[in-house]
């Protein structure tokens, strides 16, 4: 057994003060195994030690919320006796080291979080961010990540229905892979990760334990250095087939009534699942590692406790009913072995070869992790307030360049690799403002959107985070759904740097304010810090996933349907000045710079726009609807032009690039055969609504006054991402 020296403590990424806290909790020096357990459970990834005091600022309760943060996933009521469990989680660090398996196991991990709660996953979305698009390394990571998601989700049989994919230099050494999953079950079938009933057996199910992924959680809590590539064995290997069997077996076993509590073995594997279940139930758990199914020989207690082998679950069954559980897992050909019991002493006691290797109070490991109020100054920001002098491009050239740019072009080559229709619930798949999956059981549908904007948040973390929430709610409203609850993934750099910590604090506060205002409480999520490579941090990138509810009906999609329809701009033209223009895609793609501030947001107006579009949909008035975001009005119009074009007639003295490409929020473009009725709804709610043109065959034309600024054939407007191959 290795002696515990200052060096060993440092290698476990524990500070001397944290080590002293361990000593005082235990009343003695920890064993090497115990040190390993504390190091993962108190890692940033598992303990949220830098963010927890700020996360408390987020709203977490509301009319629809059944279960807020603290469980494997949040749960909301979706009507008719059914609930939805959903959550987002990051797999940023593993995806950089080994893109395929990193992304694949990211999908696997979040799926387990959902079916652990008793819900069958029915939708996955991904928020992806990579480095500079035109770069070999980016291409390798992008292709690996997409293939990994495709491999895992398709085989498992869950549709990947949407997401986002953004390219920005700052993610080159630190890609972001955030995966969202949602599942559905009956309200009374929800399971919690809570151990109870002294004497009840603790049963291990699923894959055998190997040495893979040891210290994955602590890896995810450190900056990358040149040596990080050597951490490849820390990335786990996923088996979607096994996960599919595990889900079917778990859902079936839950129906027997013999299961008391269940939790997946994710980060920190056996350790976190046992001590968190014990802690939640206020009980102790004693396990014997000799009984754990192993696929390697000679593993130590340390290795087994910290292994992050995938596709494993821990459950507590009713004593005397073990056979019912074994029978179900046997049917699916899976290991199910009692490895311990629930005790009354509140301790996690681990035996191996007759020796007690660890004996730690569950509550102390799970809940008494250090919490830091890390110093925060003003947010790190290198962009100037004032933009460079630039010569505005010809609007048509600018439009085509933007439409072809990696962030804006169609991601079809990515999402065609995902099975997005399996389970026959996807009424609106990838490529729209929000994905929609119907719930066959209750006649309702669930709309989902994931949104982040690192550029906005870099310029102003607080305003950027608010704009994220606003856009996400706008996306849902644009397809006719009422946003009801959210999950967040906070991707930031090193919190030990006060100017980075400030980004985190301000973004959380902005998100809290917006989620409160839009009535979309946060029911869970994930914090990913230390997203830095060789000292280069990412843009502060909070990603929000919001879930909306609607009655099941044929979706209203973004493309114009018929010529001769009026095109209306709900929310009006908005206002973009030269300062705010610096955060736009135009500034990024055509000026090649970032400056100024994100667009100004009037949340009150934004909310009324959402209400207006939902009422317009309820009355069946819109034939198409598309929210304005990246690239502004001109890009949005162009995206609506698939088989039907448009004539847009403007009368404005604004600089043409601000008018066409400014990204002022709170706007939705729709086409209708009944403009009077739409205008009436808008007026009733005090929302601006401008007639901007009419749909027509074959061309997109934009005029300002008598001057033609854009005149294009429809085929010239379609661009697909070309990197995938």
Partner 1 sequence: MHVGVIVFPGSNCDHDAWYAVNHNLGHKAEFIWHDSTDLGKADAIILPGGFSYGDYMRCGAIARFSPVMGAVREFAAGGGLVLGICNGFQILVESGLLPGALMRNANLHFLCKNVDLITQTVDSPFSAELKRGQVLTLPIAHGEGRYYADERTLDELEAEDRVVFRYKQNPNGSLRDIAGILNVERNVMGMMPHPERACDPLMGSTDGVGVFESLFAAVPV
d(CA 581, CA 558): 25
724 contributes a contact to partner 1 by CB under 8 A: yes
Contact region with partner 1 (CB under 8 A), list: 223-231, 410-418, 502-510, 613-621: 410-418
Provide φ and ψ at 589, rounded to 5°: -85, -40
Q: Which lies closer to partner 1 via its Cβ, residue 150 or residue 294?
A: 150
CA distance 425 to 443: 11
Q: Which of 45, 54, 151, 626 is catalytic?
A: 45
Contact indicator for 520, 545 with CB cutoff of 8 Å:
no
Q: Which is catalytic among the residues 91, 93, 376, 610? A: 91
Pick from 4, 155, 291, 338: which binds partner 1 (CB under 8 A)? 155
Residue count at the site for partner 1 (CB under 8 A)?
32
Q: Using alpha carbons, list the distances in angstroms from residue 29 to 1, 343, 470, 617.
A: 14, 24, 50, 64
Options 391, 554, 676, 715; binder of partner 1; rule CB under 8 A: 554
Q: Is 91 a catalytic residue?
A: yes
- CB-hemisphere CA count at 13 Å for 302? 13
Binding status of residue 427 toward partner 1 by CB under 8 A: yes
Closest CA to 528 of 141, 43, 199: 43
Among the listed residues 403, 413, 424, 449, the one whose alpha carbon sits nearest the alpha carbon of residue 545: 449
Closest CA to 419 of 185, 674, 195, 153: 153
415 vs 573 by CB, closer to partner 1: 415
The yes or no reply on residue 419 touching partner 1 (CB under 8 A) is yes
In whole angstroms, give the CA distance from residue 61 to residue 543. 20
Query: Which range touches partner 1 (CB under 8 A), out of 179-187, 274-282, 415-423, 680-688?
Result: 415-423
* Residue 423 is a binding residue for partner 1 (CB under 8 A): yes
Name the segment binding partner 1 (CB under 8 A); options: 150-158, 262-270, 589-597, 669-677.
Answer: 150-158
For partner 1, which stretch binds (CB under 8 A), given 66-74, 181-189, 278-286, 423-431?
423-431
Site for partner 1 in 181-240 (CB under 8 A): 239-240
CA triplet 361, 367, 369: central angle to 5 degrees?
95
d(CA 608, CA 318): 51
Letters for 245-274 (x = contact with partner 1 by CB under 8 A, - = none) are: x-----------------------------
- Among residues 56, 63, 232, 440, which is the contact residue for partner 1, using CB under 8 A? 440
Q: Please, which residue, 121 or 571, has the CB nearer to partner 1?
A: 121
**Closest-CA residue to 328 (of 403, 241, 248, 232):** 248
The reply to whether 115 sits near partner 1 by the rule CB under 8 A is: no
Q: Please classify residue 63 by burial: count the beta carbons closer than 10 Å to its beta carbon, then call 0-12 exposed, 13-18 middle and 19+ buried.
A: exposed
> Any contact of residue 715 with partner 1 (CB under 8 A)?
no
| 241/390 with CB nearer partner 1 | 241
- The Cα-based distances of 404 to 245, 275, 648, 712, 717 in angstroms read 42, 51, 21, 14, 8
Question: Nearest to residue 540, comparing CAs of 342, 310, 381?
Answer: 381
**Piece in contact with partner 1 (CB under 8 A), picked from 73-81, 153-161, 336-344, 609-617:** 153-161
Whether residue 304 contacts residue 185, with contact meaning beta carbons closer than 8 Å, is answered with no
Q: Residue 184 CB, nearest distance to partner 1 (Å)?
A: 13
Instruction: Report the distance separating Cα 263 and Cα 195, nearest Å.
Output: 9
**Which range touches partner 1 (CB under 8 A), out of 74-82, 184-192, 242-250, 701-709?**
242-250
Interaction residues for partner 1, span 292-351 (CB under 8 A):
332-333
Which residues lie across from 83 on neighbouring strands? 77, 185
Min separation Cβ 431 and partner 1, Å: 11
Cβ 238 to partner 1 shortest distance, Å: 12
Catalytic residues: 45, 91
Q: Which residues bind partner 1 (CB under 8 A)?
A: 147, 150, 154-157, 239-242, 244-245, 332-333, 415-424, 426-427, 438, 440, 552, 554, 724-725
């Amino acid at each position: 057994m290795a002696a515990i020296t200052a060096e060993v403590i440092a290698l476990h990424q524990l500070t001397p003060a944290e080590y002293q806290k361990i000593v005082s909790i235990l009343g003695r020096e920890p064993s090497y195994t115990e040190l390993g357990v504390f190091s993962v459970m108190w890692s940033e990834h598992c303990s949220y030690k830098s963010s927890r005091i700020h996360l408390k600022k987020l709203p977490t309760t509301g009319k629809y919320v059944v279960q807020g943060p603290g469980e494997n996933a949040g749960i909301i009521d979706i009507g008719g006796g059914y609930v939805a469990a959903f959550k987002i989680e990051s797999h940023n660090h593993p995806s950089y080291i080994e893109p395929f398996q990193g992304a694949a196991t990211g999908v696997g991990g979040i799926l387990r979080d959902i079916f652990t709660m008793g819900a069958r996953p029915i939708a996955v979305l991904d928020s992806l961010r990579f480095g500079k698009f035109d770069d070999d390394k980016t291409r390798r990571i992008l292709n690996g990540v997409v293939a990994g998601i495709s491999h895992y989700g398709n085989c498992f049989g869950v549709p990947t229905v949407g997401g986002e994919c953004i390219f920005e230099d700052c993610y080159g050494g630190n890609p972001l892979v955030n995966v969202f999953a949602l599942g559905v079950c009956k309200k009374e079938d929800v399971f919690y990760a809570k151990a109870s009933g002294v004497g009840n057996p603790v049963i291990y199910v699923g894959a055998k334990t190997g040495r893979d992924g040891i210290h994955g959680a602590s890896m995810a809590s450190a900056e990358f250095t040149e040596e990080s590539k050597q951490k490849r064995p820390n990335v786990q290997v996923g088996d979607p087939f096994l996960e599919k069997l595990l889900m079917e077996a778990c859902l079936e076993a839950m129906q027997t009534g013999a299961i008391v509590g269940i939790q997946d073995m994710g980060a920190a594997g056996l350790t976190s699942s046992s001590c968190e279940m014990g802690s939640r139930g206020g009980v102790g758990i004693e396990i014997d590692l000799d009984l754990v199914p192993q696929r390697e020989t000679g593993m130590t207690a340390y290795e087994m406790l910290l292994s992050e082998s995938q596709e494993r679950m821990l459950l507590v069954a009713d004593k005397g009913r073990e056979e019912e559980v074994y029978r179900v897992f046997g049917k699916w050909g899976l290991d199910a072995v009692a490895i311990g019991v629930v005790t009354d002493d509140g301790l996690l006691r681990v035996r191996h070869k007759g020796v007690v290797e660890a004996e730690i109070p569950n509550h102390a490991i799970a809940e008494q992790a250090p919490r830091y109020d890390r110093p925060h100054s003003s947010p790190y920001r290198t962009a100037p307030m004032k933009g460079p002098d630039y010569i505005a491009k010809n609007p048509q050239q600018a439009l085509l360049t933007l439409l072809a740019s990696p962030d804006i072009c169609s991601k079809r080559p990515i999402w065609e690799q995902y099975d997005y229709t399996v389970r026959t619930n996807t009424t609106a798949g990838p490529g729209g403002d929000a994905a929609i999956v119907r719930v066959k059981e209750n006649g309702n549908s669930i709309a989902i959107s994931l949104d982040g904007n690192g550029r906005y948040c870099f310029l102003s973390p607080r305003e950027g985070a608010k704009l994220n929430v606003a856009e996400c709610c706008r996306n849902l409203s644009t397809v006719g759904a009422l946003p009801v609850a959210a999950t967040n993934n906070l991707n930031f750099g090193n919190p030990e740097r006060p100017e980075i910590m400030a980004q985190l604090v301000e973004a959380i506060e902005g998100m809290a304010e917006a989620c409160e205002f839009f009535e979309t409480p946060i029911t869970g999520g994930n914090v990913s810090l230390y997203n830095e490579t060789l000292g280069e941090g990412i843009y502060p990138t909070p990603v929000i996933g919001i879930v909306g509810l609607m009655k099941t009906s044929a979706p209203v999609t973004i493309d114009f349907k018929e010529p001769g329809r009026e095109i209306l701009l709900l929310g009006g033209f908005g206002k973009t000045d030269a300062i705010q223009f610096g955060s736009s895609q135009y500034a990024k793609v055509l000026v090649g710079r970032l400056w100024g501030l994100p667009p100004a947001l009037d949340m009150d107006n934004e909310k009324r726009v959402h209400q207006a579009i939902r009422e317009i949909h309820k009355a069946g008035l819109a034939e198409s609807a598309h929210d304005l975001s990246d690239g502004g009005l001109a890009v949005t119009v162009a995206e609506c032009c698939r088989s039907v074009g448009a004539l847009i007639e403007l009368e404005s003295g604004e600089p043409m690039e601000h008018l066409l490409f400014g990204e002022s929020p709170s706007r939705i473009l729709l086409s209708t055969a009944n403009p009077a009725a739409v205008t009436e709804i808008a007026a009733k709610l005090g929302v601006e609504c401008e007639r901007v043109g009419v749909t027509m065959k074959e061309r997109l034309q934009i005029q300002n006054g008598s001057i033609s600024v854009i005149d294009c054939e429809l085929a010239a407007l379609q661009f697909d991402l070309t990197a995938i191959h």
